[in-house]
Amino acid sequence: MNLARISMAVMVMAGIAGAQDLSYEVYKAKVEPVFFKKREGHARCVSCHTAGGGAFSLQAFSPGTKVWTDAQSRKNFDAVSYLVVPGKPDESRLLIHPLAQEGGGDIFHSGGRQFANKNDPEWKVIADWIRGAK
Ligand code: HEC
């Protein structure tokens, strides 16, 4: 194996390790409920972000239910992990895109200003999960 291939392999492994460092248990218990929660003055994330909603695509609930099965949550976790930089909430698209610009977010989210600023309690829940990745 030449040097370029070795460094490529190391980069790929580092990427995989990054995703694994995010806790699925914390995600399932604390983060995922935010996507479904009815938050005062806001539409639910899940009402726009099911299949076809760009990189942030959550699984549709099975007919007649309003909970994700564990298998569905695992898929959600994988999709959401792509939008997160482990350890770095401020660099994670999941948090910066839906954040109001004057609160530290990027320019425009079609789904509105879901979080006014970084003191929003649900924003903090997600940030703690991202920061907790080792
Ligand atoms: C009213 C519909 C709507 C709601 C509610 C909504 N979004 Fe969105 N969101 C969109 C649309 C449409 C896009 C794609 C266009 C864009 O980037 O603005 C998007 C894009 C995103 C992206 C970028 C995904 C990518 O492909 O890079 C993220 C992250 C995101 N939303 C997070 C959230 C979060 C978190 C919530 C809930 C707290 C939320 N959104 C609620 C409509 C919505």
Q: Whose CA is nearest to atom 37 of ligand 1?
A: 45
Mean pLDDT of the chain: 88
Task: Tell me the mean pLDDT in the region 35-46.
Answer: 94
Q: Given the structure tokens 């899940």, which residue do they identify?
A: 46
Q: Quick one: pLDDT at residue 134?
A: 73
Report whether residue 98 contacts ligand 1, using a CB cutoff of 6 Å: yes
- Give the start-to-end residue ranges of the domains of the chain: 3-131
Quick check: CB of 109 below 6 Å from ligand 1? yes
Return the sign of the alpha-carbon dihedral for residues 105, 67, 29, 26.
Answer: negative
Average pLDDT over residues 7-31: 72
Q: Given this model, what pLDDT does residue 54 score? A: 77
Q: Is 54 in the pocket of ligand 1 (CB under 6 A)?
A: yes
Residue 10 predicted with pLDDT over 90: no
Question: What pLDDT was estimated at residue 8?
Answer: 56
Is the CB of 75 inside a 6 Å radius of any atom of ligand 1? Answer: no
Quote the pTM value.
0.87
**Residues whose CB falls within 8 Å of the CB of residue 105, separated by 6 or more in sequence, listed in order:** 96, 97, 98, 99, 113, 115
pLDDT at 35 over 60: yes
Q: What is the pLDDT of residues 96-125, one digit of tens each?
A: 999 999 999 999 999 999 999 999 999 999
CA-based nearest residue to 76, from 24, 134, 121, 126: 24
Q: How far is the CA of 133 from the centre of ligand 1 (A)?
A: 23
pLDDT at position 53: 62
